[in-house]
Structure 1
Amino acid sequence: MRLEAEFTSEPFHGEGSPPEHALAARDAATEAGLETDFGPLGTLARGDAKSLLEALPAITQAALDGGATQVTLQVRRAADTGNDVVPEAPAAPAAATPVVELNDALARLIADVEREMGAKLGDLDRPGKQRAVRLLRERGAFGLRKSVSSVADALGVTRFTVYNYLNREAD
């Protein structure tokens, strides 16, 4: 059986080079012989079940040793490409998987900002919404595809308003 693990380490950084803790976690996965896809908000590692499960403590330790304050992990069965097992339901196309993972990452970022702000984004006053957009920008949320629309929905404003908040921060 093949598994894949998606792990994110925090704190997130905005633009620029990835944080040391994210690189250390990715390197630990690679050193364990796992296939990796490294992204701005997390890393996806794939491999046989035994190798992946044995590598998880080293990946977590590497992230923490690299300065991470939190490591979030999801493990799931990978789509089987072998001929000996017939899946019960058709697997989602490979291209669709990263979109789901990125949406999950954006949802986690929004939830983190809501916890930090003490309210749902849509319940914030205008200065609070502007601060939330600034925090999301600093954490790299707007590097994700269609993130402006998702953030606008969460804030209860238009995409134009989110762009105005972002442009205001750039000035």
Structure 2
Amino acid sequence: MTAEERHPLADAIKPLLDAVGASEVALDEARPDDLVLDWDGDPAVAVRLPGLESALDRLLREARRQFGGGDLKDLDRASKQRVVALLEERGAFTVRHGVETVAAALGVSRFTVYNYLNRQQANGKG
């Protein structure tokens, strides 16, 4: 798509699409599960939302960024507990295999992640 063909709405929503991991698709390539955004009553931009697996990857990347940008496995225990709390708030554990994926990213066992989650709930934070 050339700059002349690109709708101004596409440029306006690009930061949002990037933040949520969505992508713009050509209107004629939109699938039934894509979102088509209208502008003055006419289709302007088609948006393809990410799958849940990529959502968890994004959450882990964001946690890595928030905790210094390094490997999450290198964090101390207290920081790993804060990562788990952050991911719990953002729904990471509603995704199938979320606990396993987070445990691997943190370099801990599933049991440890469940312990962190249980500790949060016991402290009234979950």
Q: Of 85, 91, 95, which aligns to 1:140?
A: 91
- 1:60 aligns to 2:13 (yes or no): yes
User: Percent same amino acid among aligned pairs?
Assistant: 48
> TM-score scaled by structure 1?
0.47
Q: Of 105, 109, 117, which aligns to 1:166?
A: 117
> TM-score scaled by structure 2?
0.62
Number of corresponding residues = 95
The two structures, once aligned, show a CA RMSD in angstroms of: 3.1
- 1:111 aligns to 2:111 (yes or no): no
Q: Of 19, 22, 28, which aligns to 1:73?
A: 22
Deviation for aligned residue 1:120: 1.7
Question: Quick one: structure 1 residues 58 and 102, their matched pair in 2 at CA, closer, same or farther if it must change by over 3 Å?
Answer: same
Q: Which amino acid is 1:73 matched to?
A: A
Larger RCO: Structure 1 or Structure 2 (Cα < 8 Å, ≥ 6 residues apart)?
Answer: 1
Question: Quick one: structure 1 residues 167 and 115, their matched pair in 2 at CA, closer, same or farther if it must change by over 3 Å?
Answer: same
SS of the equivalent of 2:51 reads helix
SS of the equivalent of 2:24 reads strand
Q: Which runs of 5+ in 1 are unaligned?
A: 1-52, 65-69, 80-97
Q: Which amino acid is 2:13 matched to?
A: T
Q: Which runs of 5+ in 2 are unaligned?
A: 1-5, 32-48
